[in-house]
Amino acid sequence: MKDNMLQIIIIALAVAADQLTKFLLVPMLQSLPGQTLTVIPGVFSLTYTGNTGASFGILAGAQPFFIAVTIIILIAGTVVMIRTRKKQSSFLKICLSLIIGGAVGNFADRVTLGYVRDIFDFHAVYFPWIFNVADSCLVVGAILLGIYVIFIYKPKDKKAQMKEGKNPSEE
């Protein structure tokens, strides 16, 4: 039960942090010339941009597609979270919660505004991506999920499942 509450808390914090940073920073940035505030010269700026596409503006203007894909991801992630909650590791629960929280944060912008508000802009290394808290949650969740799948997850073999009286095709 405590892991389920952890998932709800992570999702809620991800969405709240994303929306709160946008609520606080976007109006200030919109009032600045170039809509940019240099925080650390040559390293980090706050730059407001509205992104109608995916990462790097890919598929700009394809809002119905992004909304549909997000709904599918949210439904699939929620179903996986619920159906496997008793046997999931805490690590996997955190991964899924970050992904769902990030998806909800950007989904809220897409549905209400028709675009996603991005504000964080790093210059220290060539990083042509202005992003937000929701994007960060999605990326961190996806990286952690990749680590989980590659290094942690150990599927039971079919013989072991049959000995336990389970049908491996049902999992």
DSSP code per residue over 86-99: TT--HHHHHHHHHH
Domain extent, residue 56, equals 2-170
CA-based nearest residue to 104, from 1, 13, 3, 26: 13
Give the active site residues: 118, 135
Per-residue pLDDT reduced to its tens digit, 37-51:
999 998 899 999 998
Q: How much is the pLDDT for 160?
A: 57
Q: What is the pLDDT of residue 74?
A: 87
Sheet strands (E) in the chain: 36-40, 44-51, 116-122, 130-131
pLDDT at residue 79, rounded to an integer? 86
Q: What's the confidence (pLDDT) of residue 122? A: 87
Query: What is the number of structural domains in the chain?
Result: 1
Work out the angle at residue 59's Cα, subtended by the Cα atoms of residues 54 and 63, and round it to the nearest 5 degrees.
Answer: 75
* pLDDT at res. 88: 80
pLDDT at 47: 95
- The pLDDT, as a whole number, for residue 151 is 93
Burial 11-40 (b: 16+ CB within 10 A, else e): beebbebbbebbeebbeebeeeeebbbeee
Within 10 angstroms of residue 86's Cβ, the number of other Cβ atoms is 7
- Pairwise pLDDT comparison (79 vs 9), residue with the higher score: 9
Given this model, what pLDDT does residue 56 score? Answer: 59
| Position 167, amino acid | N
Q: Tens of pLDDT along 86-141?
A: 778 889 889 999 999 999 999 999 999 999 999 999 887 776 689 999 999 999 99
